[in-house]
Structure 1
């Protein structure tokens, strides 16, 4: 296993993190489907491979994921970094969701109880909340850190402008600062390269990646023929915007590269992410040991510069305004002089 500091902090995490979203049973059977015995085997394999970073959320299987992860880590809890998230609805009341001070305090206490721990290493706000002032959310997170209930804080699924505003407020008020942004990123989903990645690089916020295989699409198990099979995961949980036909073109190239390395498409897709300098850690979720073993092997897969360039070019996101205008109007003479 390889390790890295998470953002501008001294928190050292494994380059592959274990995502416990599949733990428990719930209203999305294609996602929440792993029981206690199998989850124990998955966690044991992850620990044996050197993973020290485990991710969950209060909303996963209505809290079952947190409960199971807490039990499974047991005495090894102090050796690990646990990240959990808050913000989604956790009850029928209007105040039982969002990023208000009330809900964050209630949600944090509930997560601590379910995880059977007295602190959360990385507490992440799971989404934006347009109904709560940003200062209220950031103040509540700062107080949770000061109370020792959370050691570090992060955000997930926020636009770059909001995260930048938050970090500015945190610095101005000397509040606990975000060290992490957990975002969707994959070979077929590179939107964050427009603004989020430059912001994170500039502010020292560490990027962790969720759904690195685009909901399983890049695992290679889906084809143009079986995609509509009602029994596969994408039939029951397909919420990522993706032009599937273009995606299969990308997947054809991934399969070719995988064949050159006697690897799998999933390993190639993960290896591409791990080779990106702006990526700190990649979350891998599994419902069976064979999937986890396959994902773990990606750490040792080294793509050639030609293979990386091919994937980069094939999946490069279309520049957005004003990014393309900035590039177009760069002073060529200055660029050449500074080479």
Structure 2
């Protein structure tokens, strides 16, 4: 397993990490993802640790806190061997104090997460979304206090727009508050919007990407192909409304390229899609999910080898889209590119 620094921090994380959204799954979204109990979760974590995957990501909103509870039970007795990442901010109820990142909500939600996880510290606490109703200074000052209290060690965000993240980093710099070192983002061959603004920001500011849904909500498993019906075993018809939109014709082009490279390499379609992501600039770790041992072991096969330059170019071409202004086409033209060379 390869390890990388999480952004500009000293925290070393594996290039593959495990997403616990399948743990104790309930409701229309998480129930469709999986319903792993504590015993099976412990088995999956055993396999992950054997392979060098020691970062496990969850959130308070995953199945109403049940994911955190199962993860806590599964890591009991070996807390020092793992890194725990969780997220807070999204609504856990309808009351005025049950959503957002106010001082009171952050403190209470952190304490509740610690209790569910069965630990006295969180390695990485991420804000699940930007809260426009709370001053950024209040958020950062509260996180600073939680770090000083030893309850959290690093802070990050998820699903922030570029200006939201950059403004937060600027305020942190101005007041000496902790800087966000991670941004948990959607990024895949079927969704490359991250590259337009967030990737250059991350490279400039030392913010590592933790990639969620690297297989585009299950679309890059190889089971969805042009001219073929959706497999009966697919859960996409249950969960598609919750995930990012994907252009179907572009998806089919990407999958065909993945199958061509699969024949060349002997690797599976998901392994190739994951390996492409691991090689992208600013990516610290790609979060994989698995409902069972077979899925986990297949995903773990995405490391330990590299795509050729020609294979990367084939995937880049198949997945390329026209970015919104001002990122394209001007940034690609010679004069503009000389001033601001693109990362990819």
2:72–2:119 contact (8 Å) kept in structure 1: yes
For these two proteins, the number of residue pairs brought into alignment is 334
CA distance in 2, matches of 1:245, 1:321: 23
Instruction: Write the distance in 2 (CA, Å) between the matches of 1:90 and 1:269.
Output: 33
Match of 1:240 among 240, 244, 261: 244
Distance 1:82 1:37 in 2: 18
Question: What's the CA shift for 1:120?
Answer: 0.4
5 Å-filtered alignment, 1:156-195, equals: 156-195=158-197
Which residue is 2:23 aligned to?
A: 23
Superposed CA RMSD: 1.8
- The reply on whether 1:279 has 2:283 as its aligned counterpart is yes
Farther-moved stretch of structure 1 (89-98 vs 325-334): 325-334
1:285-300 aligned at under 5 Å gives the runs: 285-300=289-304
- Distance in 2 (alpha carbons) for counterparts of 1:111 and 1:334: 46
Partners of 1:32 and 1:61 within 8 A in 2: no
Corresponding residue of 1:11: 11
Q: TM-score, normalised by structure 2?
A: 0.93
Q: How far did 1:331 drift?
A: 6.7
Displacement of 1:314 in angstroms is 1.6
TM-score, normalized by length of structure 1? 0.94
Matches for 1:114-193 after TM superposition, within 5 Å: 114-193=116-195
Kept in 1: contact 2:331–2:337 (CA 8 A): no
Aligned in 2, Cα 1:305/1:107: closer, same or farther, shift over 3 Å? Answer: same
Offset, 1:171:
0.7
Unaligned runs of 5+ in 2: none
* Unpaired segments ≥5 residues, structure 1: none
User: Does the aligned pair in 1 maintain the 2:22–2:36 contact within 8 Å?
Assistant: yes
Cα gap change, 1:35 to 1:331, in 2 (>3 Å): closer
Distance 1:5 1:52 in 2: 14
Q: Secondary structure at the match of 1:78?
A: helix
Asked whether the 8 Å contact 1:228–1:235 carries over to 2, the reply is no
Q: Aligned in 2, Cα 1:334/1:38: closer, same or farther, shift over 3 Å?
A: closer
Residues 61-70 or 34-43, more deviating: 34-43
Matched, 1:310 2:303: no
Residues 39 and 74 in structure 2, CA contact (< 8 A), matched pair in contact too: no
Structure 1 equivalent of residue 269 of structure 2: 265
Distance of aligned partners of 1:96 and 1:306 in 2 relative to their CA distance in 1, 3 Å threshold? same
Q: 1:79 to 1:333 in 2, by over 3 A?
A: closer
Give CA-to-partner distance per residue, 1:201-234, whole Å, 9 cap, x none: 00011111000001111011233533274x5211
Partner of 1:81: 83
Q: 1:90 Cα shift?
A: 1.4
Give distance in 1, aligned partners of 2:110 and 2:338.
54
C-alpha contact (below 8 Å) 2:199/2:281 kept by paired residues? no
2:323 alignment counterpart: 319
Moved more, 246-255 or 183-192: 246-255
